[in-house]
């Protein structure tokens, strides 16, 4: 064999090996497996997304994403240590290693993605910022808020968006800024501000849970920003990042192909759909690519549910928040929810 032929053959062998082998496990994934628990940073209490009930059990879309990742990596959706974090502390906790995953209604922005030493794993909830105001105020549009006092939490994109919106529309703003989420919304409900602003999903939660009479408050029709809320992981562990990203994709694609927690066993045993078989591990290979077994996606679907189930029980029309799917509907149903294909 000539030197030229040998070099070409060696290069081809290395390329094939690189394509077939997952990235080497890093410190985060190793620590999760060693500790037998996933430390997940969540909101201190946002109904529908992450909030403890009277028994201390956490529920919500973000909490359920934590459970789904735990089910994939550890085999048990309940092997999660929930760590409640303020807006100011959330990214520091991830950077410092206090948590393994941040699933806390955080907006993916260029600055955060490029400068904080973290990776967002894909949008989990498409939202936008809005305004909550009393019905008695007689305001029907955000453009009528010129000169209004607006309660807002500091250290958030919400605060920046508020200033940008008023400046862009030539309106005067009197912001009333609070460090904690609880302080900010309690100030609004006590009458200290004309309006309150945060993500529209958060406004729906506050109105349904915290208002003395929800019917006395209205959410104005404008969404003044794009808020792609996404879980995030710390940089430096490529295999872990890839796993978390594909848990998200699996839950979304499971709904698209009609796989739910109720029928997952039946579909696993009888479906001839090639996509369903790849998702549920009947056709082997996908798990090996991730450095996992072939039931990596079956477990979170079985134990937590597909995206539609998670949405419905936490924030959907049958929940206290009563949110429609809207942008969070599947791409085939008029929304923008779109999973990368499992193949």
Residue 25: per-residue pLDDT: 65
Q: Which of 207, 225, 243 is the last residue of a domain?
A: 225
Is 214 found in the same domain as 302? Answer: no
Is 178 found in the same domain as 57? Answer: no
DSSP 8-state symbol, 176: E
Is 109 found in the same domain as 236? Answer: yes
- 12 domain-assigned: no
- 334 domain-assigned: no
- 14 domain-assigned: no
Q: Which of 225, 247, 264 is the last residue of a domain?
A: 225
Q: With contact defined as beta carbons under 8 Å apart, do 87 and 185 qualify? A: no
Is 121 found in the same domain as 133? Answer: no
Is 268 found in the same domain as 218? Answer: no
- 192 domain-assigned: yes
Tell me how far apart the alpha carbons of residues 329 and 126 are, in angstroms, rounded to a whole number. Answer: 10
- 167 domain-assigned: yes
Is 183 found in the same domain as 163? Answer: yes
Does residue 250 sit in helix, strand or coil? helix
Tell me how far apart the alpha carbons of residues 268 and 276 are, in angstroms, rounded to a whole number. Answer: 8
Is 122 found in the same domain as 86? Answer: yes
Quote the number of domains for the chain: 2
Residues linked to residue 50 through DSSP beta bridges, in sequence order: 46
Is 214 found in the same domain as 140? Answer: yes
| pLDDT tens, residue by residue, 97-143 | 999 999 999 999 999 999 999 999 999 999 999 999 999 999 999 99
- 121 domain-assigned: yes
Provide the CATH number for the domain around residue 145.
Answer: 3.40.190.10
Q: Which of 204, 225, 246 is the last residue of a domain?
A: 225
β-pairing, 149-153 vs 195-199, is parallel
Does residue 331 sit in helix, strand or coil? helix
- 311 domain-assigned: yes
Is 185 found in the same domain as 142? Answer: yes
Is 57 found in the same domain as 46? Answer: yes
Range of the domain at 170: 129-225
* C-alpha pair distances (Å), 167 with each of 121, 127, 158: 32, 22, 14
Q: With contact defined as beta carbons under 8 Å apart, do 49 and 124 qualify? A: no
Tell me how far apart the alpha carbons of residues 33 and 74 are, in angstroms, rounded to a whole number. Answer: 7
Average pLDDT per block of 10 residues along the chain, 343 residues long: 45 38 74 98 94 95 98 98 95 98 96 97 97 97 97 92 97 95 94 96 92 95 95 97 98 98 98 98 97 98 98 94 94 97 96
Is 121 found in the same domain as 50? Answer: yes
| Residue in 247, 212, 219, 252 with CA at minimum distance from that of residue 231 | 247
- 107 domain-assigned: yes
Is 246 found in the same domain as 176? Answer: no
Neighbour-count burial for 108-134, b at 16+ CB within 10 Å, e otherwise: bbeebeeebebbbbbbbbbbbbbbbbb
């Amino acid at each position: 064999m000539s030197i030229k032929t040998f070099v070409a053959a060696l290069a081809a062998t290395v390329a094939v090996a690189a394509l077939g082998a997952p990235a080497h496990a890093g410190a985060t994934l190793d620590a999760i497996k060693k500790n037998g628990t996933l430390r997940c940073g969540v909101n201190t209490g946002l109904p529908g997304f992450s909030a403890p009930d009277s028994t201390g059990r956490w529920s919500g879309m973000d909490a359920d994403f934590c459970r789904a990742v735990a089910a994939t990596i550890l085999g048990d959706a309940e092997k999660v240590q929930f760590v409640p974090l303020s807006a100011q502390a959330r990214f520091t906790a991830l950077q410092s290693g206090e948590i393994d995953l941040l699933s806390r209604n955080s907006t993916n922005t260029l600055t955060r993605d490029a400068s904080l030493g973290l990776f967002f794993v894909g949008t989990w909830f498409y939202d936008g910022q809005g305004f909550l105001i009393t019905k008695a105020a007689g305001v029907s549009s955000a453009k009528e808020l010129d000169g209004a006092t607006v309660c807002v939490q500091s250290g958030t994109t919400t605060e920046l968006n508020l200033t940008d919106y008023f400046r862009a529309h030539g309106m005067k703003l009197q912001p009333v800024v609070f460090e904690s989420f609880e302080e900010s919304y309690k100030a609004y409900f006590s009458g200290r501000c004309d309006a309150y602003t945060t993500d529209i999903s958060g406004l729906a939660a506050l109105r349904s849970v915290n208002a003395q009479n929800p019917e006395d408050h209205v959410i104005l029709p404008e969404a003044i920003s794009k808020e792609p809320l996404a879980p995030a992981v710390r940089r430096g562990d490529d295999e872990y990042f890839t796993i978390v990203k594909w848990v998200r994709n699996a839950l979304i694609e499971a709904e698209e192909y009609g796989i739910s927690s109720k029928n997952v066993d039946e579909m696993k045993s009888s479906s001839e759909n090639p996509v369903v078989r790849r998702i549920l591990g009947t056709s082997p290979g996908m798990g090996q690519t991730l450095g996992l077994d072939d039931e990596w996606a079956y477990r979170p679907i079985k134990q937590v549910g597909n995206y539609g189930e998670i949405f419905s029980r936490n924030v959907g029309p049958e929940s206290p928040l009563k949110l429609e799917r809207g942008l969070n509907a599947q791409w085939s149903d008029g929304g923008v929810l779109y999973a990368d294909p499992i193949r």
